[in-house]
Structures are given as C-alpha cells and as structure tokens.
Amino acid sequence: MPDVLDDTTPTHCPYCALQCGMNLRGRAEAVEVVERPDFPVNRGALCGKGRTAPALLSSRVRLTEPLVRRPATGRLEPATWEEALRTVATGLSRTRTVYGPDAVGVFGGGGLTNEKAYALGKFARVVLGTSQIDYNGRFCMSSAAAAHQRAFGLDRGLPFPLEDIPRSGCVILVGSNLAETMPPALRYLTELRENGGTLIVVDPRRTRTAEQADLHLAPRPGTDLALALGLLHVAVAEGRTDEEFIRDRTSGWGEARAAAMAHWPELVERITGVGVPELREAVRMFCDAESAMVLTARGPEQHSKGTDTVSAWINLCLATGRAGRPFSGYGCLTGQGNGQGGREHGQKADQLPGYRKLDDPAARAHVAGVWGVTPESLPGPGRSAYELLDALGGDVKSLLLMGSNPVVSAPRAAHIEGRIRSLDFLAVADVVLSETAALADVVLPVTQWAEETGTTTNLEGRVLLRQKAVQAPPGVRSDLEVLSALAGLLGHEKGFPADPEEVFEELRRASAGGPADYSGITYRRIAEEDGVFWPCPEDGTGARTHPGTPRLFLERFATPDGRARFIAVGHRPAAEEPDAEYPVLLTTGRVVSQYQSGAQTRRVDELNAAAPGPFVELHPLLAERLGAVEGEPLAVVSRRGRAVGPARITTGIRADTVFMPFHWPGEGRVNSVTNPALDPTSRMPEFKVCAVRVERVPG
C-alpha cells in the first residue's frame, strides 16, 4: 500500500467532541490539513489543535515499536510484537488464574472510536470475564448523562444539532468556556447574538466566552445548584412557568416546585454571591425569549452533586416550557472526541452496546446472542473509573489500559500514581509514551486518527466516519489488531476481527433495539450524509431508510409514559468547604492550546509555544494579601497534595477563588490537589472545587 491514499481524504479532527471536519493530503511525515467547508459542524473552521494535529503522526514524537520492561535493568526496552503480546497475555492470564477474573482491570478512553470501545468492552467481558472495566469518559459528562436519563429517559449530549443554537432566543451557558475548549463552536453563540438572541454565561471566571455574554453570572464555585434553584424560584414567583406544558408533558412538578421555593433569592445570593437583581434579570431574559436553551459543561457537572445540579437546570427548562420544542431545550457539551459514543457501546462499567444496562436481563440476552455466549457468562456491573483506579494493587492486580493517562488526569493524582505503581502487571496501548505508559510493563504502539478508519459520535449524536489517510509506521498496529491478537492468545480465536467495518457491522446488530440504536447506519451512509444522527434503526425489512434523529423529544420524551420527569433537588455544600487552614477555593479547567492530560498536545512545538506550562490565576486582592506578584511561583496546597505555577493576576476571577489548568505533569500537576469525592449517582469526582491555601514559593 502506498504511503498516501489517492488525492485528498475527508476525515475529522482527533481532539474534542465537535469532531470538526477536515481534509488531509500528503505523506505521513508531511501531512497537510486542508479546510473542509462543506462539513456542517465547523464549516471549515479549525482551532490550533486541529490545524497542528498531523504533527503527532511524526515518528519523532510517537511510539513506533513495542516496549517491554526488562527485569535486569528495570527499563522499558524495544521488543518484537510477538514477545510483547505474549507478555501481555501471560500477565493477564496469570492474574486471572491466581486471583480470579475480577482481579484484571480494563481502563479505556473517550478518544477511542466506536469500534474500539465496543471491542474493548466485549474483550473485557467475554475474553477476560471481568466486571472491572470503565473509562476516562466517566470524568467527562457522566453527571449530565445520569440527569438526562432521570428526566428524559435517554442520554444524548445535545438533543438537537448545533445549527439550532443561533435560532434560539436565549441561551444560558453554564460552566463552559467554548472560546478555549471548542473555538469553532463559538461562532454559534456569535450568530445567536447577531440574530437578536441573548447569551447568559455562568462561570466564576470572566473567560473569553463570558466576555461575549449579555449577562455574566459569576457564582462561587460549587454553588451552581443553588443558582439554578434560585432562578426557578424567581420564575415561579413571577408567574413565568408554562402550566400547559407542565400539565401535558411532564410529571413530578409538585415536589420539584416545593424544593425550588425553599431557595428564595436572598438566600441564593448569600450562597452564590450572585445578586438578586442579576437573578431576576436572567429569568427575564430567559423567559421573555420565544425559545431558549440551557447548555452545561464540566463546570456544573464535575461535582459530588453534579447530577442534581444538572437536574435543577433541566427543571428550569421544563417549568418554563423550554424543552421538547423547536430551538429550545437542555443540552450538554460533551468534551472528549468520542465521549458520547465511547459510553454507548460498552466500555462503561454498567453498560452494554446500544446504551443498554448491564443489569437488564433482556439487554444481557440480546447482546449475549450477538456475541455467541450465554447471558449468565457475562459479568455484572463493575466499579466506576475512580473507584477502579483506587482499587489497583488491591483487589485489582493487573490492568490493560487503552487511550488514557490517569497519572495526570485522575483526581488525587499522586495517590492514583501510587496505586498504578503497585500493580503486579500493567499493559498500555497508546500513541505516545504518556506519563502512565512510562510506568507500564509492556507498551504497545498503536495507530491514530489519520492512520485508521473508524467511527466516532460527536456531541450532537451525529455518527461520523474518520477515514484512513496515511500508512502508520511499520512497527505500529491498530488497537483492534491488538485486541484480536490478545483474544487469540487467550483462547478466543474468533469473534474479534481487526477490520473496523466488520466490527461496526457487529456493533450495529448489538445496538439494534437499544436506546442508542445504530442498526440503520452504515459506513457508506455516513460518508454520503455528513454523518447520521442516532437513534437510526433499521425499518424491519433490512432496508436502511430511517433518516436518523437530529432532534429528540419534539413529540414525546423517551420515558415509558412519554413525559419528562421533574426531579426534586436541594442545594448542599461542596464536599470540602474552605476553613482557616485552607481558606481559598480552587477550580480547574483548560486552555486553548492544550488538550486533556496534554500527552499529545505537549508534543507539538506550536502548541507548547502558545501554552508552555501551568499557571495560578488569582484576583489582585488575593495577590495583595499574599504579597504575590505577576509571574512569581505560587504553590496551591490541599489536603491531598501540592501544585506549583507562576502567578497570573487578573480581575477576571473571584477574589475567593484560584484557577489552574490541568494539562501538565510534575510539580504543575493540579490533579495532585483535586478532590475525588464522588457524586452518589454518576460517580463523577469533584474536580471543580476544593479547599486550598496558596503560598509563595521561596527562591
């Protein structure tokens, strides 16, 4: 096969959940990104990460041969694929034999294609027989997913396409800095305002996105739940609820209304720091518009009460009739490239393909039939992501990890690094030698976005096709080839094909009839239609004529009775509040030129030049109290650890709060500081708020 396929290849960016369309041309060491203006999500626009994505294809920065840790030296050294795969199979098999199948863990990633996520979940449950599988997408939008399920009976990040946002009358954007996390999506908010709509941004920082808002609400971190309840209280008190919509299309309003009325505006002002006039103005803007939306992201979701917080924002939409109608509704801005599809098809601890529940007998029977096993042989639900990582070296002795870097990305990261080091055996499949891969016993170099074909599902629920554009280096194999080979070595020579389209055909059958039904979707349809929105079932005759579902809930919600469900929730404080020893609040987030744990973007010169390292953002009043000056190193210290970065002093943050981005390892690793307190429903850790003290660093 030649180094480059014919002409220009249409594909998608490997980074965030927009999955922006792009064209590629050139050879593996010199691939050029070309605009793809006909793709509707980004219409040709790309951020710096997308433009520079081909830099990761270079053999200078990525893995090109397997590595095995040699007992004699204790170092990772080159090995053949045969040796590396046999070492992995032996390590996993030995653990299963000595300790049982649940002593083997599997940890996946929200960047894996649908085919890889599906195959990884099947491998864990059929080949290894373990229940101990989860993925880093648990850290992404699991709280919103749980709230979606409770209210609507179905979880899809956005129940409408992005193109609907500018056609709405008002958007409340909660805890999202689109200008830095998804720059091509900012145009939708710009067009909203150009069309006469209004934008309300909720964020404790005055970000580049908040600067675009008609109204910026800056609540104290950890109080978004109280804020949403206060807005609903005002809407009720001012007679702005849609009683006809509530009567005809919802249930549970009485209890939710009573809970909201316990959060009167003056109380909410004391909790959040957002003034009563601002609360009333936000309600006026939201309710006066003919249509309106609430969009949330990690800001309100990464909390020990994230599910209830999202439920409160959904309640506001339902009570005012802003759901299940054109250009109105609640949506979640999924973060990772395949965060949506990654959890739909089986790498989440409690789910089977098609977004089926693992503890549902009918779901188990259907998927077991597709897999050719008995339902009884499938393990039950396992631990969530943080709980699985915390169990490493204890109940879980060995780990197979694909496409994740928890040494940097997990909360209480120093502790998790220690748990990973305590494993009997660790195998990592990745594109680069991440901080986690550097601790492994075996590292398997795998293909990446431009070197393989596969599907992803973006934040709209649009199933997309990434197409292979260049050949991978000779020493690199795909994740599907890795799983196929390991399955064969572990006694399962059939059922794990390495061809992605063959895997997708099986995924279609496994998802058929489930909430996330892909059975009417094919590679050809995706390519011809710029993606297909799920659910998209076959019509029962074998024909694939279903148009897909760009807009959910316009006629009924996905609950048994077709009604959306109000969930009564009340404010409660963060798991860790400031005190005399730790008097300041820490919140975390991203910067435009880095991505997630930075394992890939920190290897791109242009991106590193723009964002070379971590920093501590703080208000001038706090800086004055500390005696801190711009650029001076500061330490942010919690009960769990310490992170250091230069001071960045700005009036764009609350005086009781500091901010650090989370893309770096070493002394700047802010996740050494963050709190792993878990949401009781979603099992989401509380990344977004914890109590810290800030210290000047001597010298």
Domains of the chain as residue ranges with CATH: 9-57 (2.20.25), 68-139+338-517 (3.40.50.740), 142-332 (3.40.228.10), 584-696 (2.40.40.20)
Query: How remote is the C-alpha of 85 from its chain's centroid?
Result: 30
In the chain, which stretches have pLDDT less than 70? Answer: 1-6, 28, 540-544
Residue 78: cis peptide before it, omega within 30 degrees of 0: no
State the chain's maximal CA–CA distance in angstroms: 75
The predicted pLDDT at position 451 comes to 96
The predicted pLDDT at position 541 comes to 58
The predicted pLDDT at position 306 comes to 97
Q: Which two tokens stand for residue 20?
A: 């922006």
Q: Cα–Cα–Cα angle for 678, 435, 221, nearest 5°?
A: 35
Task: For residue 175, give the nearest of 639, 571, 608, 659 by alpha carbon.
Answer: 659
| DSSP bridge pairs for 174 | 202, 296
Q: What is the amino acid identity at position 508? A: R
| Beta-sheet pairing, 454-457 with 584-589 | unpaired
Burial class (CB in 10 A: 0-12, 13-18, 19+), 25: middle
Distance CA 424, CA 441 (A): 9
Q: Over the range 273-292, which residues count as b (16 or more CB within 10 Å of their CB) and which as e?
A: bbeeebbbbbbbbbbebebb
Q: What is the amino acid identity at position 493? A: E
Distance CA 215, CA 206 (A): 11
Distance CA 251, CA 565 (A): 5
Q: Which two tokens stand for residue 558?
A: 């996905």
Q: Record the pTM.
A: 0.96
